[in-house]
Amino acid sequence: MSTRAVVLAVGHYTPERVLTNADLEKMVDTSDEWIVQRTGMRERRVCSENETTSTIAIAAAREALERSGLAPEAIDLVVCGTVTGDMWFPSTAAHVQRALGLVNAGAMDVGAACAGFIYSLSVGSAMIEAGHAKRVIVIGADALTKFTDYTDRSTCILFGDGGGALVLEGQENTDRGVLHTVLFCDGNGIPHIDLEVGGSRFPAGSRQAEGRRTKIYMNGNEVYRFAVKAMGDACVRCLEQAGMSADEVDLFVPHQANIRIIESAAKRIGLPDDKVFLNIDKYGNTSGGSIPLGLYEAERTGRLRKGMVVMTVGFGAGLVWGANLIRW
């Protein structure tokens, strides 16, 4: 009998500080009407100076672990999807390991930008299915506002901070768990979203870094075009490979980057509005955090219940994209 990675519990964290469209109107030449129409966003959460990505990851993982009822010693692995770790190294997952006293766990970050949770869930569930781990904490957490240029109206309206976490456990003789995942990348899209300074090509403070961008750059139109196609394609491929149809999906929890991108993906696979989970109005684009945050809120509000099939899909810098099918 094959082993499935079953979701035991979900947790979340969002910073207290709220940045509204009205706040942004005072910072750049924009309007509430434009932002709502083009993106579906009304407000987002922003880390304080003392909060970092590990603050989000630790709080989300702590809540998930508490709700799972497991002891810290029971966890074998922490996988954290993030591109805004506290430092280049050590990993954010290492901070989670220490803070929660996960004395038997390995820890690693997965860098897949806004698809970080999709990729991390794939890694975590595959480790369980392969028998290398029994219980895994999978996190998606980012603090993009730390790298946002608040003079660039085309990007600064989009991003917020937050994240969520799942506790997975390997179980046999169950139809629950992560059913299938698809992952994709097209590196030709590298120029469309980046953060130049800080890596080994333009090390911070080096001669090579002079005049280079220290904040997020994005070609919104290119990313938009790509995302509309990629989101739909990933869902179709994931369903096909799992041998399932869209009718079997009870809830769709997509990456919350733009309401128009989400609506077109849902339309492409023929999902009615009431199966589409949205919280983009409250949080904006929280990168790797958006999907687990959505799963958390969907469960807490009763829209996601045990036994339901949930499909997640996301895309991000790389360009990377992918989807997961989970029976909750």
Ligand X SMILES: CC(C)(COP(=O)(O)OP(=O)(O)OC[C@H]1O[C@@H](n2cnc3c(N)ncnc32)[C@H](O)[C@@H]1OP(=O)(O)O)[C@@H](O)C(=O)NCCC(=O)NCCS
For the annotated catalytic residues, the residue numbers are 114, 255, 285
What is the strand order of the sheet 251-254 is part of? Answer: 177-185, 320-327, 309-316, 251-254
Q: Which is nearer to ligand X, 202 or 321 (CB)?
A: 321
Q: Least separation, in Å, of the C-beta of 227 and ligand X?
A: 5
Residues that bind ligand X (CB under 6 A): 30, 34, 38-39, 114, 153-154, 157, 193, 218, 220-221, 223-224, 227, 257-258, 285, 315-316
Which of 158, 156, 112 lies closest to 257 in space, CA to CA?
158
Task: Specify the amino acid at residue 220.
Answer: G
Q: Which two tokens stand for residue 306?
A: 């045990």
Q: Which is nearer to ligand X, 25 or 250 (CB)?
A: 25
Q: Which is nearer to ligand X, 122 or 258 (CB)?
A: 258
Q: Least separation, in Å, of the C-beta of 219 and ligand X?
A: 9
Q: Least separation, in Å, of the C-beta of 14 and ligand X?
A: 18
Q: Which is nearer to ligand X, 224 or 241 (CB)?
A: 224
| Cα 286 from Cα 159, distance rounded (Å) | 6
